[in-house]
Amino acid sequence: MLGGLGYLISRNVYLIPGALLNVSLIATYTVFNSSFLMWVVIYTLLSYIAGLAVKTIVSTRKQES
């Protein structure tokens, strides 16, 4: 997912989900209707969880080495 890839690139769990939230909110109010807002929140949370999962995996592999 985007959150995991974003963590590998930037080493920041909050950067990609925050950017995704901002872009999606702008798209919700300019392009889509307000029912899309639910999917914005869900995908932002999934992106954050994926970033945390990748962070956990990377940190445990560093400890094993």
- pLDDT tens across 11-40, in order? 898 999 999 999 999 999 999 888 899 999
Query: In the predicted model, is pLDDT for residue 65 greater than 80?
Result: no
Q: How far is CA 53 from CA 4, 18, 56, 61, in A?
A: 7, 17, 5, 12
Q: For residue 10, give both structure tokens.
A: 């930037």
Q: Is there a contact between 17 and 48 (Cβ–Cβ < 8 Å)?
A: yes
Q: How far is CA 14 from CA 19, 20, 30, 61, in A?
A: 8, 10, 24, 21
Mean pLDDT, residues 4-8 taken together: 85
pTM, to two decimals: 0.83
Type of residue found at 41:
V
